[in-house]
Amino acid sequence: MQIKKIFSILALTVLVFQSCSKLDNAPSDFIDPSKAFRNLDDVNMGVIGAYAPLTSTIIETGAIVSDEVMFPTENTVSNTTAHRWLYNSSSGSVTSAFYEYYVVIDRANRVLEAIPNIPVNASTQSKLDQYHGEMLALRAYCHFELLRAYASGYEKDSVGIPYMKERKLGYPARASVQSNFEDINTDLQAAKALIPTSFNDNSRITRTAVAAIQARVALYQKNWSDAITYASEVINSEPLAPKGDFAKIWKDESQSEVVWKLARVIGDSRIGAAFFRETGEIVLYAPSFKLIDQFGPISQRTDDVRFESYIEYAPNRPAGKSQYLVNKYVGGNPSYRGLADVKLFRTGEMYLIRAEAYLENNNLVEAAKDLNELRRARIYNYIDQNFADKTSLLNAIYNERFKELAFEGHRFFDLKRRRMPVERTTQDAVNTSGAVRLESTAAQYCFPIPANEMAVNKNMTQNPHY
């Protein structure tokens, strides 16, 4: 989707109006929020419209650039730029999310601008407050996802992204990561106070979903105490799925431990299409052997309910075809293979956030307790493990994140959080054209700011080495 065709807040919007004699004239195709939103029903439609552009782009991209998938030789139809780390500022595979999130932010800001003028009474104020909170939280979430993908790093003084608190044309500059975190946390705190506890639609942002976003933000900010607090809030509200329900989550037959999802219906884009193409039955990206090996010997893999939920073993596929397929997003409708709700936040992630935070706070006992509890929920006949030191437990937590959150868009950013290289095994690199190890000093360790944005925004700066 081209930014000039939608309600953009970034400088590229100016291009649409360069044919006008005066750039300060009100754009004719902009809708004044005071006229578009006149009552609660209008606001609700605006809220739904703000959610609408969210897709699974960053999840798919995060998986493809990491070491959790491999590029099989049968894939002769998919763009290889992202997987082979050949992307630059003109590569849509890694830059499209930049516009996607800012479109959502712009729509949220339009609703937020209108809310103070909406007439309500005592009985309808709570509903307006809910919409207000949802839009603040959605704005914060989108800025955080932009920060994960496009910040030069996650340290306080790293270069972050423009934080847009209102709709306007102009040339927004990149703020510091510290400033971004402050704005994100401010919006989330305000959102939580507005969303009622009774609102429980997990296809939208509930108060529990706000806590989940706060927990993830605190993890990246290395605010360990807050990470523990917010992750605990989610865990107490939404328990882990029973083993018998876990596979049902990915077929959309169970909502167990799903905190926030993007609901998908027939006609919507299919997240599974990033990994498998029905025409010709082509595996585009297969689970890496590095990931598969995390589940242990073949004889033990079926003990872990995640393995068959995430990975399909198909030994009867023709010679030269991958025998392993990403099964996580096949969905529950055989007629629409790959159509599945996009799970943005789950309780399993919260256990791993809290475990890491406990560990970094030097509470190894509680950290190991959380890790073991998650494993018991996923693995039959699991026996709790003890860990000799902080390093071994930290490695175990990251390996568990590798398994638990596979293909959910976390692995690349988890490595980036620790300034670790993305490293593929020889077996997984047979078709990468030499893309085996991505160092933290390489340009592609951060996604580039789009070339179009660089061309029109005089205040925008590019990430290092591009």
Give CA–CA dist 417/394, Å, rounded: 13
How large a percentage of the chain has pLDDT more than 70? 93
1-31+38-63+85-196+443-466 and 242-276+285-329+343-420 share one CATH topology?
Answer: yes
| Residue type (1 letter), 393 | L
Give CA–CA dist 282/275, Å, rounded: 9
**May I ask the CATH class of domain 242-276+285-329+343-420?**
mainly alpha
Give CA–CA dist 76/63, Å, rounded: 19
- For residue 407, is it left (φ>0), alpha (ψ between -120 and 50) or beta? left
pLDDT at 23 over 50: no
CATH topology of domain 1-31+38-63+85-196+443-466: 1.25.40
Give CA–CA dist 451/322, Å, rounded: 36
**Rg for the chain (alpha carbons), in Å?**
22
How large a percentage of the chain has pLDDT more than 90? 88
Confidence bin at 31 (pLDDT 50/70/90): low
Query: Residue range 417-441: average pLDDT?
Result: 96
Confidence bin at 320 (pLDDT 50/70/90): confident
19-28, 297-306, 389-398: least confident range: 19-28
Give residue-wise pLDDT tens across range 331-362. 999 999 999 999 999 999 999 999 999 999 99
Distance of CA 27 to the CA centre of its chain: 33
Query: Residue range 118-138: average pLDDT?
Result: 97
pLDDT at 314 over 70: yes
In this prediction, residue 17 carries a pLDDT of 29
Closest CA to 415 of 12, 93, 144, 67: 67
| Residue type (1 letter), 97 | A
Which residues lie closer than 8 Å to 42 by C-beta, 6 or more apart? 36, 114, 118
Per domain, the residue ranges of the chain are: 1-31+38-63+85-196+443-466, 242-276+285-329+343-420
Confidence bin at 169 (pLDDT 50/70/90): confident
Give residue-wise pLDDT tens across range 266-275. 999 999 999 9
- For residue 31, is it left (φ>0), alpha (ψ between -120 and 50) or beta? beta
Q: For the chain, what is the HEC assignment?
A: CCHHHCCCCCHHHHHHHCCCCCCCCCCCCCCCHHHHCCCHHHHHHHHHHHHCCCCCHHHHHHHHCCCCEECCCCCCCCCCCCCCCCCCCCCHHHHHHHHHHHHHHHHHHHHHHHHHHCCCCCCCHHHHHHHHHHHHHHHHHHHHHHHHHHCCCCCCCCECCCCCCCCCCCCCCCCEHHHHHHHHHHHHHHHHHHCCCCCCCCCCCCHHHHHHHHHHHHHHHCCHHHHHHHHHHHHHHCCCCCHHHHHHHCCCCCCCCEEEEECCCCCCCCHHHHCEECCCCEECCEECHHHHHCCCCHHHHCCEHHHHHHEEECCCCCCCCCCEEECCCCCCCHHHCCCCCEEEEEHHHHHHHHHHHHHHCCCHHHHHHHHHHHHHHHECCCCCCCCCCHHHHHHHHHHHHHHHCCCCCCHHHHHHHCCCCEECCCHHHCCCCCCCEECCCCHHHCCCCCHHHHHHCCCCCCCCCC
Please give the residue that has the higher pLDDT: either 135 or 33. 135
Confidence bin at 76 (pLDDT 50/70/90): confident
